[in-house]
Every structure is written in structure tokens, then in C-alpha cells.
């Protein structure tokens, strides 16, 4: 599924086209997404998009009367197109603007979402989320304190959105490899010094992915239709059985939390 860098790339891609533009119409062709699309989203009609923000993997189109919340789910993507562009299969939602542009949500599996948030409130889906990984709120101290007495595998721990948001499977694999930490090691057994290293690698790995346009995933397309290029730099994810870039030993693969987990048994302890 699209991870945090892909969602941030989508935000960067759509923002110049819809910020300061008035929403003329919200068209919901299929309200049966992961959650039913509420009629309240039409409250945005006639309103100007003041900004496009992101919280975890949720995108928020902010207006004075509220925010349209969009989530890409497993296979969703957003495109900014002219309203004359023919519809594709699974184009479920159009947000039309006075300038003729349309923000179009396509979602084949319908695990995405389109929701509504009134001003000065926080939608219940975002109420218990952890800090954003690229902010000063996410620190080694935060990780260390949250991890105490936790027997859960550290990979599952850093992928828990209540601990920190947006560290998905790809970037958890990569960050743990760079930090030299075995993904199955108990979170509570890791020292503060090692969490300091891991925190820095999480920040750098995600920032690098965003800078390079997001990882190329099977179902993900950027707003400009071009794939991301960060996949070319992946050190362990998707490389099970190949040689470790550090020691040349064969990379191993296990399942943690029903997710593919690739690591080097020599370099990661």
C-alpha cells in the first residue's frame, strides 16, 4: 500500500493545483469505500481550499467550514486532471474546481476513504496517532520510553501508528538494517543509544524517499503519472536471498506481523 512518502509526494503534487482554488462541486460516484462517504463532504462546495495538509497517511483539504479527508487505502491514487478527461474504471470521487481542474480519486479495491472533519476538531481516526516521524516530536527519548517492558518485535513496534505514524513495512526494513538492529529483537531490550541511531535512520530514510519521489509500488502512481525512483536504492526490502551490501552474506526473510521482513543475520543484532 502507499506509505507515508508516497502520500506526502501526492500532497506535494496536488497542492499547487488546488490551493487557493474554489471547490465548485464534489461528485461521489461510489460512496461505498472503506467507510461510507458522508454527505457532509458536499459542505466544501463553494469553499476555497486554504491548504493541503497531511496527518499520517491522511490528506486534508482544508477550508474555512471544514476539511475533506482523503486516504489512499491499499491501491488508491489521486490525479489532477481537466474535467473533460474521460473517467477511468474505479474513478469514485471527483472534486471539481472553478478553474476547470478536477482532483480525482481512483481506488480499485475501495479500501480508501473520503471523510469530513469540522473546524477545530480532530477526526476520531486521527485522535490517538503518534507523532509525525519528520518532526521534532519524534525523538529517541520518545521511542525509548514507549518501548520499556515491551516484548513485541522492534519492527512491529516502530510500525505501530500509536507509537509513531507512517513507518510502513518498506521503511521499517530499511531503517532497521541501517541501524544494525535485528527486526525480531524485543523492543524493550533495545538501549537508548541504539534508539538514537534508529530514530535518525528513520528520519533520513523517509526524508530521502520523499525527496526522490516515493517508492515505486505496484498500485501507486504519482499525480503526474510518473513512478518514484527510491526503489532502486532499497538495501534489504525485496532482496531476500541476495547478498548484503555490507558483508556479502545472504539476506534472510521471515514474517513478522504477517509482513515480509528482510534482514542480514550478520549485520543486524
Residues labelled catalytic: 2-3, 57, 259
84's grid cell: 473533460
Q: How far from each other are the two terminal CA atoms of the chain, in whole angstroms?
A: 28
User: Running DSSP on this structure, what letter comes out for residue 230?
Assistant: G
Residue 71's DSSP bridge partners are 58, 113
Backbone angles phi, psi at 140, to 5 degrees: -65, -30
Distant-in-sequence, close-in-space partners of 153: CB < 8 Å, separation ≥ 6? 183, 184, 185, 186, 187, 256, 257
| Residue from 240, 239, 233 nearest 204 by CA | 233
CA angle 209, 55, 178 (to 5 degrees): 30
Query: Under a CB-based contact definition with an 8 Å cutoff, are residues 56 and 69 in contact?
Result: no
Amino acid at each position: 500500500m502507499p506509505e507515508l512518502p508516497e502520500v506526502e509526494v501526492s500532497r506535494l503534487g496536488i497542492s499547487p493545483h488546488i490551493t487557493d482554488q474554489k471547490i465548485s462541486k464534489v461528485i461521489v460516484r461510489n460512496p461505498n469505500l472503506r467507510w461510507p462517504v458522508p454527505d457532509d463532504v458536499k459542505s466544501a462546495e463553494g469553499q476555497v481550499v486554504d491548504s493541503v495538509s497531511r496527518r499520517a497517511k491522511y490528506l486534508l483539504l482544508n477550508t474555512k467550514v471544514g476539511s475533506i479527508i482523503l486516504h489512499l487505502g491499499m491501491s488508491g491514487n489521486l490525479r489532477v486532471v481537466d474535467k473533460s478527461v474521460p473517467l477511468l474504471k474505479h474513478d469514485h470521487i471527483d472534486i471539481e474546481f472553478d478553474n476547470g481542474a478536477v482532483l480525482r480519486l481512483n481506488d480499485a479495491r475501495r479500501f480508501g476513504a473520503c471523510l469530513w472533519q469540522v473546524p477545530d476538531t480532530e477526526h476520531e481516526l486521527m485522535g490517538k496517532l503518534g507523532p509525525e516521524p519528520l518532526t521534532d516530536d519524534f525523538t529517541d527519548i520518545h521511542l525509548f520510553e514507549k518501548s520499556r517492558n515491551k516484548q513485541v518485535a522492534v519492527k512491529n513496534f516502530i510500525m505501530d501508528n500509536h507509537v509513531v505514524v507512517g513507518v510502513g513495512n518498506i521503511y521499517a526494513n530499511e531503517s532497521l538494517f541501517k541501524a544494525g538492529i535485528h527486526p525480531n529483537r524485543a523492543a524493550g531490550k533495545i538501549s537508548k543509544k541504539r534508539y538514537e541511531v534508529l530514530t535518525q535512520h528513520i528520519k533520513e530514510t523517509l526524508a530521502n524517499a520523499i525527496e526522490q519521489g516515493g517508492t515505486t509500488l505496484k498500485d501507486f502512481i504519482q499525480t503526474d503519472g510518473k513512478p518514484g525512483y527510491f526503489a532502486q536504492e532499497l538495501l534489504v526490502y525485496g532482496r531476500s536471498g541476495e547478498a548484503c551490501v555490507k558483508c556479502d552474506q545472504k539476506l534472510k526473510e521471515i514474517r513478522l506481523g504477517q509482513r515480509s521482513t528482510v534482514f542480514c543475520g550478520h549485520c543486524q543484532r
